[in-house]
A and B are shown apart, each in its own frame.
Chain A
Amino acid sequence: MIVALSIFLITIGSIAFHFWSPWWWTEVASNWGNMDDTIILTFWITGAVFVAICFFVSYCVWKFSYKKERRAEYKPEDKKLESRLTWATAIGVAALLAPGLVVWNQYVTVPKDAYKVEVFAYQWGWKYRLPGEDNVLGKTDIKYISDENPFGLIIEDPNGKDDLLVDAQELHVLKDRPVKFELRTIDVLHNFYVPQFRGKMDMVPGIVTYYWLTPTRVGDFEVLCAEYCGTGHYAMRGRVIVDEEKDYKKWEAKQITFEKMLAKNRKNDNLQLVKKDK
Chain B
Amino acid sequence: MSDEYEHKLEAKSDYVGDASSVSTPDIDSVPKAELPDQELYHSHSWWTTYVFSQDAKYIGIQYALTAIGTGLLGLVLSWLMRIQLAFPGLGWLEPTAYYQFVTMHGMIMVVYLLTALFLGGFGNLLIPLMCGARDMAFPYVNMLSYWAFVVAVLVLLASFFVPGGPTGAGWTLYPPQAITAGTPGYNGGIILMLISLILFVAGFTMGGLNYIITVLQLRARGMTLMRLPLTIWGIFTATVLAMFAFPALLVGCLMMTLDSLLGTSFFMPAMVSLGEKLTYEGGSPILFQHLFWFFGHPEVYIVALPAFGIVSDLLSVHSRKTIFGYRMMVWAIVGIGALSFFVWAHHMYVSGMNPWFGFFFATTTLIIAVPTAIKVYNWILTLWRGNIQLSLPMLFSLGFIVTFLNGGLTGLFLGNVTVDVPLSDTYFVVAHFHMVMGIAPILVIFGAIYHWYPLITGRMMNETLGKIHFWITFIGSYAIYFPMHYQGFVGVPRRYFEIYDSPYIDTSTLLLNKFITIAVLIVGAAQLLFLYNLFASARLGKKSEKNPWKANSLEWQTPQMPPEHGNWGKELPKVYRWPYDFSVPGAKEDYIPQNQPPSEIIGAKVEKT
Interface residues of A (CB under 8 A from B): 3, 6-7, 10, 14, 17, 21-26, 32, 35-36, 38-39, 42, 45-46, 49-50, 53-54, 56-57, 60-61, 64-67, 70-78, 81-82, 85-86, 89-90, 93-94, 96-97, 99-101, 103-105, 107-108, 122-123, 142-143, 145, 183, 186-189, 191, 193, 195-196, 198-207, 209, 220-222, 224-234, 237
Contacts and interface: CB of A to CB of B under 8 A. Distances in A.
Contacts of B489: 23-25
Interface residues of B, number: 115
B550 to A, nearest CB: 12
A38 B423 CA distance: 12
Contacts of A81: 381
Given A25-B489, A196-B504, 9 more contacts: A35-B422, A54-B405, A61-B390, A70-B387, A71-B585, A77-B328, A82-B328, A188-B177, A228-B169
A64 B385 contact: yes
B421 A195 contact: no
Interface string B378-394: 10110111111110000
Q: Which of B350, B363, B483 has the most CB of A within 10 A?
A: B350
A231 B96 contact: yes
B17 interface: no
A123 B363 CA distance: 35
Which of A73, A76, A183 is the most central at the interface, judged by chain B CB atoms within 10 Å of its CB?
A: A76
B286 interface: yes
Interface string B399-432: 0011001100110110011110111111000000
Contacts of A107: 355, 418, 421
9 contacts: A22-B506, A32-B421, A54-B405, A60-B388, A71-B583, A107-B418, A198-B421, A200-B425, A202-B352
A74 to B, nearest CB: 5
B70 interface: no
Given A189-B174, A209-B352, A233-B496, A64 B319 contact: yes
A231 to B, nearest CB: 5
B270 A142 contact: yes
A232 to B, nearest CB: 7
A86 B370 contact: yes
Contacts of A93: 366-367, 369-370, 412
A145 B271 CA distance: 10
A255 B472 CA distance: 59
Given A53-B405, A97-B416, A103-B418, A234 B183 contact: no
Given A96-B366, A107-B418, A222-B502, A145 B182 contact: no
B176 interface: yes
A232 B182 contact: yes
Interface in B356-387: 356, 358-359, 362-363, 366-367, 369-370, 373-374, 376-378, 380-381, 383-387
Nearest to B274: A123
Contacts of B469: none
B405 A50 contact: yes
B325 to A, nearest CB: 5
Contacts of B384: 56, 60, 64, 73
Contacts of A3: 390, 395, 398
Interface centre among A74, A142, A143 (most CB of B within 10 A): A74
Given A17-B483, A53-B380, A39 B358 contact: no
B96 A101 contact: no
A206 B278 CA distance: 13
A190 to B, nearest CB: 10
Given A17-B482, A46-B409, A107-B418, A234 B321 contact: no
B388 A65 contact: yes
A24 B428 CA distance: 12
A188 to B, nearest CB: 4
Nearest to A101: B359
Interface of B: 95-96, 99, 168-170, 174, 176-177, 180, 182-184, 269-274, 277, 282-286, 319-328, 350-352, 355-356, 358-359, 362-363, 366-367, 369-370, 373-374, 376-378, 380-381, 383-390, 395, 398, 401-402, 405-406, 409-410, 412-413, 416-419, 421-426, 475, 478, 482-483, 486-487, 489-491, 493, 495-500, 502-504, 506, 508-509, 512, 580, 582-585, 590, 605, 607, 609
Given A38-B418, A77-B325, A231 B182 contact: yes
Contact of B413 (A46, A50, A94, A183): A46
B490 A24 contact: yes
A4 to B, nearest CB: 9
A24 to B, nearest CB: 6
Given A23-B509, A97-B366, A100-B417, A201 B387 contact: no
Contacts of B412: 42, 45-46, 93, 96
Given A60-B388, A233-B495, A187 B182 contact: yes
A263 to B, nearest CB: 23
A217 to B, nearest CB: 13
Contact of B584 (A36, A46, A74, A193): A74
B350 A191 contact: yes
B529 to A, nearest CB: 19
A50 B273 contact: no
A155 B96 CA distance: 39
Nearest to B286: A204
A25 B422 contact: yes
B174 A72 contact: no
Nearest to B351: A202
Contacts of A10: 402, 475, 478
A200 B422 contact: yes
A228 B490 CA distance: 19
Given A54-B402, A222-B504, A89 B380 contact: no
Contacts of A122: 272
A200 B421 contact: yes
Contacts of B183: 188, 230-231
Contacts of B590: 71-72
Contacts of A94: 366
A179 B34 CA distance: 70
B185 to A, nearest CB: 11
